[in-house]
Amino acid sequence: MPQEEINQVLVKKALEGKRVVRLKGGDPFLFGRGGEELEVLAQHGIPFQEIPGITSAIAVPAYAGIPVTHRDCCSSVHIITGHQQADKPLAINFDALVQTKGTLVFLMGVSALAEICQGLLDAGMDADMPAAIVEKGTTPLQRPILATLSTLPQTAQAEQVKSPAIIIVGKVCAYASQFNWFDALPLKGKRVIVTRPKERAGTLAERLRGMGADVIEFPCIETRPFASCPEMEQAIANIQTYEWLVFTSSAGVQTLMNLLERTNRDVRALCHVKLAAVGPATADELRKHGLRADLIPSVYDGTHLGESLCQVNPTGKVLILRAQTAGHELTDALTQHNIAYDDIACYETCYTAPNAEEVRNLLLPDTIVTFTSASTVKGFVAALGEDTDYSKIVAVCIGHQTEAEASKHNLHTVTAEKATLDALIQRIVEGEHQWN
């Protein structure tokens, strides 16, 4: 959208009485035309606020391990636009820039890289001055190219550097090899697809991104509480008749808490029953509501949850709140030990795939896909189709039941030592050399 049209939209929507957010990358006032936009708003008497951002001229070098100032090297930093209008030379005073002896950061200058470097050389800058160009800075695809002022254009051309990229010239560039923390992150360069439900994908995705991974969120399932569940409502109304209340996922906990809220009750309704959780994530969900699980199996799956319940040998009835389509391992164990139970489905698991075609195009050999339940595997396969070749996709599974489902579809399975996000992430960090 042309700048003039952007200005018109800002004014039009503001005069309609709406609150308008103009979101920009970097800092709005540094080559961001923020001043031009506020000028138009001021002319129309429209009140505004400006929230400073972090300019890419500072952030991108920092992510490449380049401090734009260092008292051993320079006492100033200069930010210059390298954008040139068609058929016009760069309007840059190279002589003045060289005389500053400071760090020079050029934005939007990829197409003019050779001209920029030559201009500095002609103005007397040392041909061996450290220089760098950082492509796709601060993203998982970041690529810093280090060279000297005289060799940077040729090196960048050989590496096929494309916009967006930032050019840095100055002695501080020499620190990059020592300070490049971002490219040293354990998952830098790895693409990981996260298939967890949308409401629970954030924790895993955020942690993987923090380790440098290129994360694609592809929620393949969605948990939906039943609008009405008379069986659960009756069971909770008579909760005193049960000795144990069992949850196989955090979704079950959330569904029960929603019921208590709707019926004007709270967790005090559960004061006479013991609580069992399939694993730490479900136990954490209970803790959010002031409840502590009395039982968590050593291995976090339905089989071991059933075995653990049998070991405590309940004399009273067990209430299980879980998904409509659930495994039979838990209830088989209770049946074999003659333990009475009610198994109530209080929510359903639906397969969703909002961006299946996009993900299909990103499935390169050895793409890593995380699966935190057998349902996420089923949803993934349902989205991409049975005819997809899954053999070269690395399926990092949270447990053996999930692994079993992934193996049915010829996925290259790797399983976490424990059914926790920590263990799942650790398997990814370990790398492919330990997977074969």
Q: If pLDDT is split at 50, 70 and 90, which confidence band does 90 have? A: confident
Tokens of residue 288, six digits: 């959010």
Tell me if 90 sits within 8 A of 112, measured CB to CB.
Answer: yes
Please check the confidence at residue 69 and state whether its pLDDT lies above 90: yes
To 10 degrees, the CA torsion angle through 321, 326, 328, 334? Answer: -10
- Give the residue, 301 or 128, on which the prediction is more confident: 128
SS3 content of the chain, % helix, strand, coil (to 5): 40, 20, 40
pLDDT computed for residue 364 by the predictor: 74
Whose CA is closest to 431, among 195, 188, 217, 201? 188
pLDDT computed for residue 306 by the predictor: 94
Q: If pLDDT is split at 50, 70 and 90, which confidence band does 419 have? A: confident
Q: Which residue ranges make up each domain of the chain?
A: 3-43, 56-179, 191-220+352-434, 238-340
Q: Are strands 368-371 and 394-397 parallel, antiparallel or unpaired?
A: parallel
67 vs 337: CA distance, rounded Å: 66
64 vs 145: CA distance, rounded Å: 9
Strand pairing partners for 195? none
Strand, helix or coil for residue 163: coil
The whole-chain average pLDDT of the chain stands at 91
| Multiple choice CATH, 238-340, 3.40.50.620, 3.40.50.11540, 3.40.50.10090, 3.40.50.720 | 3.40.50.10090
319 vs 252: CA distance, rounded Å: 12
Strand, helix or coil for residue 128: coil
Q: What is the pLDDT of residues 227-236, one digit of tens each?
A: 889 999 999 9
Residue linked to tokens 């139970």: 341
Burial of 19 (0-12, 13-18, 19+ CB in 10 A): exposed
Same fold yes or no, 191-220+352-434 and 238-340 = yes
Query: What is the CATH code for 191-220+352-434?
Result: 3.40.50.10090
Please check the confidence at residue 213 and state whether its pLDDT lies above 90: yes
Q: What is the pLDDT of residues 314-348, one digit of tens each?
A: 889 999 999 888 788 999 999 999 999 999 999 98
For residue 164, cis peptide bond before it (omega within 30 degrees of 0): yes
**pLDDT average, residue stretch 24-48:** 94
Q: What is the pLDDT of residues 142-197, one digit of tens each?
A: 999 999 999 999 999 999 999 999 999 999 999 999 999 999 999 998 889 999 88
Please check the confidence at residue 29 and state whether its pLDDT lies above 60: yes
pLDDT computed for residue 122 by the predictor: 97
Cβ neighbours of 431 (radius 10 Å): 11
pLDDT computed for residue 232 by the predictor: 94
Q: If pLDDT is split at 50, 70 and 90, which confidence band does 62 have? A: very high
Cβ neighbours of 296 (radius 10 Å): 17
- Give the residue, 281 or 121, on which the prediction is more confident: 121
Strand pairing partners for 305? none
Tokens of residue 381, six digits: 């396969």
Tell me if 107 sits within 8 A of 80, measured CB to CB.
Answer: yes
**pLDDT average, residue stretch 15-22:** 97
Tokens of residue 328, six digits: 């039979």
267 vs 139: CA distance, rounded Å: 44
Strand pairing partners for 342? 319
Please check the confidence at residue 432 and state whether its pLDDT lies above 60: no
pLDDT computed for residue 386 by the predictor: 81
Homologous superfamily of 56-179:
Tetrapyrrole methylase, C-terminal domain (3.30.950.10)
Give me the sign of the Cα torsion angle 403, 406, 408, 412: negative
